[in-house]
Amino acid sequence: MNITVLGIGYVGLVTGTCLAEIGNDVVCFDVDREKIDLLGSGRTPFHERDLPELVARNVGFARLRFTTDVAEAVHHGDVIFIATGTPADQDGSADLQYVLAAAHSIGEHMQGEKIVVQKSTVPVGTADKVRMAIAEELQKRKGAGDPVAARLPATPIAVVSNPEFLKEGAAVDDFMRPDRIVIGTEPGPAGERARALMGQLYAPFNRQRDRILHMDVGSAEFTKYAANAMLATRISFMNELANLAGELGVDIEQVRKGIGADPRIGYGFLYAGVGYGGSCFPKDVQALVHTAAGHGQRLRILEAVRAVNDAQKHVLVDKIVGRFGADLRDRTFALWGLSFKPNTDDMREAPSRVMVKALVERGAEVVAYDPIAMPEARRVLPQDLGANVAAASRVRYADSPMQAVRGADALVVMTEWKAFKSPNFAALKGALKQAVIFDGRNLYDPAIRGQGFEYFAIGR
Ligand SMILES: NC(=O)c1ccc[n+]([C@@H]2O[C@H](COP(=O)([O-])OP(=O)(O)OC[C@H]3O[C@@H](n4cnc5c(N)ncnc54)[C@H](O)[C@@H]3O)[C@@H](O)[C@H]2O)c1
């Protein structure tokens, strides 16, 4: 099938590449020329396991191409995926400007019937806005006497909602082996045709068992928000209980295992820590709360989920201040982990950003190490610190975890990278100025207190 992907961030690039891998002919377009140039030179713009090899292979087979020519891209695909970002707008709603800009591009350049697939996470009703944006452009073209636009049938597009559930860090695997494929189509013949074509497109991912869930467009759009809201709720629930567990002298890790064993609860997304980050949970929870407000409703659980998460990003800072005092001048902290979770270099809404800012603004030096995210950190951390050049200059980067801790007053663990899970504690103790660990991911056994460490964790 001829496929076009508009917007090649984490979702668009993985979608386009995986669809090429199973034999489709895929053209990817992005407004970011640098990204296209980078891909053209054989490099991928972000870290994602298995993706560079897959991109190279499919480019090599000429099944995957990258272009900055939007007309060529729109012309190519019978099926056009929109995978642009939907960041939070100032009022917390999903900012649809990039999605709608992509829709306008489709209307401006389409020369035949298209199936437009909405991959971005968007509020209920967005499919209609996409359809209207395309229709508006077609109308303009007809008005200007464009013969191609005039020849198009009355309903030249079907808009499908196909939200994406991949996880950064395991994105290729998630796309190739999905738990479920949600496809929302509209009623009527155009929707029926789209439903059949999407079934064909996803058939290779659907062989072992039927993973496709067909539903109406609005329900599909809503499913994505409901999924992220549920996962975020589990995390905030555990974080809130962890803070109480800490006060009660209870170990939240034991409690996690105790409740996770119940199949009605399950183990997933129950780890207590320094709060969730990333490009999805924070903005999606906020957007759903905003949608509800627009309908005169309050989503009180999700309001609390968000408030708990915002507070949780400061819990470890408070422990550090509790131990060392509010004036951290002449203190150095080793920071292990910068990305919002392991196996990605994504630092959007990462708890480490709150930590770094809090430490350097109190006068501390920070020596950070992350296996992948340091280039991204060098880009975003100075932005966080804005005009505070002095504070920004107090952030340094180490070449290894051990180099980061040498001479530091304490180790602060922010991301649960595998490389941090089983350090040589004797060497760690020798390298640190003081044997103090603030573990924001509960990686270590509290029994290390018996080895002379002052160990601060979340709810343990
Ligand atoms: N990142 C994830 O893990 C993930 C998972 C599931 C769903 N989602 C959703 O998928 C969507 C995309 O997320 P992402 O993380 O891939 O975003 P991203 O910010 O990494 O990428 C978006 C891309 O769209 C491009 N773009 C903007 N306007 C454009 C236009 N008019 N035409 C073509 N390209 C344009 C940008 O230049 C950018 O490269 C969001 O709605 C997000 O909520 C993300």
Best probe residue, ligand 1, of 11, 35, 137 (max atoms within 8 Å of C-beta): 11
CA atoms within a 13 Å half-sphere pointing along the CA-CB vector of 430: 7
Span 302-310, average pLDDT: 98
Q: What is the CA(235)–ligand 1 centre distance, in A?
A: 24
Q: Which CATH class is domain 2-215?
A: alpha beta
Predicted local confidence at residue 283, as pLDDT: 97
Q: Is the CB of 8 under 6 A from ligand 1?
A: yes
- Mapping DSSP to helix (H, G, I), strand (E, B) and coil, where does residue 42 land? coil
Please answer whether residues 212 and 183 qualify as being in contact, where contact means their C-beta atoms are separated by less than 8 angstroms. Answer: yes
Q: Is the CB of 223 under 6 A from ligand 1?
A: no
Predicted local confidence at residue 386, as pLDDT: 87
DSSP class of residue 152 equals S
Residue 358 has pLDDT above 90, yes or no: yes
Tell the burial category of 143 from Cβ atoms under 10 Å away from its Cβ (0-12, 13-18, 19+): exposed
Predicted local confidence at residue 207, as pLDDT: 86
User: What residue owns the CA closest to ligand 1's atom 7?
Assistant: 164
Whole-angstrom Cα distance, residue 358 to residue 327? 11
Residue 208 has pLDDT above 90, yes or no: no
Counting from 1 in the atom list of ligand 1, the atom nearest the Cα of 86 is 41
Span 318-343, average pLDDT: 98
Please answer whether residues 396 and 420 qualify as being in contact, where contact means their C-beta atoms are separated by less than 8 angstroms. Answer: no
Q: What is the pLDDT of residues 442-459, one digit of tens each?
A: 999 999 999 999 999 999
Q: Is the CB of 84 under 6 A from ligand 1?
A: yes
**DSSP code string of 375-387:** HHHHHHHHHHHTT
Give 421's contacts (C-beta < 8 A, 6+ positions apart): 443
Predicted local confidence at residue 226, as pLDDT: 98
Give the pLDDT band (50/70/90) at residue 419: very high
Q: What is the CA(309)–ligand 1 centre distance, in A?
A: 24
Q: Is the CB of 85 under 6 A from ligand 1?
A: yes
Counting from 1 in the atom list of ligand 1, the atom nearest the Cα of 46 is 20
Q: Is the CB of 334 under 6 A from ligand 1?
A: no
Counting from 1 in the atom list of ligand 1, the atom nearest the Cα of 45 is 39
User: What residue owns the CA closest to ligand 1's atom 32?
Assistant: 102
Task: Tell me the average pLDDT of the chain.
Answer: 97
Whole-angstrom Cα distance, residue 451 to residue 392? 35
Span 299-313, average pLDDT: 98
Q: What is the CA(9)–ligand 1 centre distance, in A?
A: 5
Q: What is the pLDDT of residues 116-151, one digit of tens each?
A: 999 999 999 999 999 999 999 999 999 999 999 999
Counting from 1 in the atom list of ligand 1, the atom nearest the Cα of 13 is 16
Q: What is the CA(380)–ligand 1 centre distance, in A?
A: 18
Taking the alpha carbons at both ends of the chain, their separation in whole angstroms is 53
Sequence ranges of the chain with CATH classification 3.40.50.720: 2-215, 236-456
Residue 211 has pLDDT above 90, yes or no: yes
Please answer whether residues 314 and 237 qualify as being in contact, where contact means their C-beta atoms are separated by less than 8 angstroms. Answer: no
Predicted local confidence at residue 126, as pLDDT: 98
**What is the set of active-site residues?**
280
Predicted local confidence at residue 154, as pLDDT: 86
Q: Is the CB of 101 under 6 A from ligand 1?
A: yes
Residue 438 has pLDDT above 90, yes or no: yes
Q: What is the pLDDT of residues 380-394, one digit of tens each?
A: 999 999 878 888 899
Q: Which CATH class is domain 236-456?
A: alpha beta
Share of the chain above pLDDT 70, in %: 100
Please answer whether residues 122 and 221 qualify as being in contact, where contact means their C-beta atoms are separated by less than 8 angstroms. Answer: yes
Predicted local confidence at residue 15, as pLDDT: 98
3-state per-residue secondary structure call for 398-412: CCCHHHHHCCCCEEE
Predicted local confidence at residue 166, as pLDDT: 97
Predicted local confidence at residue 388, as pLDDT: 85
Residue 192 identity: E
> How many other C-beta atoms lie within 10 A of the C-beta of residue 374?
18
Give the pLDDT band (50/70/90) at residue 67: very high
Q: Across the chain, how many H-helices and E-strands are there?
A: 19, 14
